[in-house]
Amino acid sequence: MRIIAFSPHPDDVEILCSGTLAKYAAQGHEVAIAVVTRGDVGSPTLSREEIAAVREKEARSAAAIIGARFFWLGYDDEFLFDSPDVRKHFIDVIRQFRPDLVLCPDKDSDYHPDHTRTGQIVWDTHVMATVPNIKTEHPPCEKIHDIWYYDTIAGINFLPEFYVDISAQWETKLKMVACHESQNTWLVSQYGRPTTYFVETQSRFRGYQTGCDYAEAFRRPKLFPASVPQAALLP
C-alpha cells in the first residue's frame, strides 16, 4: 500500500501519527509526508525565512528516519486558505504519490485554522484527483483513496473511532519528534515542558483507552465509493 500524511505544520504528523507511519514503513509499505505550511512563525527570535529553513530541515530529517518520501508545499504559516491554486497543488501531490490512504487533520474537530483547512482541502479534493478534466502536472489517479483523520493536539474535541497500537514504534516516534528541536526549545520556554512530555502523555492515554502501551487515534469519514474495507488498510 501507499500511505501519505498531510502535516499542516512541520511537526503535526510526527506528534499525531508518526508511529502509524513508522508501522506501515516497517511492514514494507510506501509512506510519505506532505508538509503544507513552512512553519515560518514558529520562532520568537528568528526571521520567517530563517525559521522556515530550519523547520524544513527538521521535517526532512524526521521523514528520513522512516524512509518517507517528502513533499514541502511551502505555504505561509497561519495563512493557509482554500483557492483553486491551492487545491490543484494538493491534487498534484496526491497524483504524484498515488496513495491508497491519506492521513490528515479532522476538518470537523481540530482547533487550528491551518489544520481544519488542510483536512477540508484533502476532503474537498479527494474525488478531483481522479478527474481527467482537472489538469495538473501529473496524470489523474485511477481510484479514489481512503481518508483517515488523525487525532488533535491533546486529543481536544476528538472522539476516536479506532486506534493503532504503536508500542513497537514508540522509540522511532520519539526520534522523529526529537528532530523538531526548534519547536521543543520554544515549547520549553513557553510551557516549561518538552514536546516529548505532551506526546508521551497523549500516546499513553490513547494506549490506555485501547489496551496497549502506546497508541494513535483516528476517525474515518464516510466516503463513496469506499474502496476497501477498513480492516484491509490497518497496519
* Footprint of Zn ion (CB under 5 A): 8-9, 12
Q: Which phi-psi region, left, alpha or beta, contains residue 72 (left: φ > 0; alpha: ψ -120 to 50)?
A: beta
What gap in Å lies between CA 59 and CA 86, rounded to an integer? 21
Cis omega before residue 225 (within 30°)? yes
Q: Toward Zn ion, which CB reaches closer, 9 or 117?
A: 9
Instruction: Pick the closest to residue 156 from 101, 193, 213, 115 (CA basis).
Output: 115
To Zn ion, the closest distance from the beta carbon of 77 in angstroms equals 9
As given in the structure block, the three cell numbers for residue 45 are: 527570535
To Zn ion, the closest distance from the beta carbon of 125 in angstroms equals 20
Separate counts of helices (H) and strands (E) for the chain = 8, 7
Q: Toward Zn ion, which CB reaches closer, 8 or 235?
A: 8
To Zn ion, the closest distance from the beta carbon of 114 in angstroms equals 6
Contact 36, 79 (CB under 8 A): no
What kind and span of H or E run contains 56?
helix 48-65
Q: Toward Zn ion, which CB reaches closer, 41 or 212?
A: 41
Q: Toward Zn ion, which CB reaches closer, 118 or 125?
A: 118
To Zn ion, the closest distance from the beta carbon of 105 in angstroms equals 8
Q: Toward Zn ion, which CB reaches closer, 39 or 99?
A: 39
To Zn ion, the closest distance from the beta carbon of 8 in angstroms equals 5
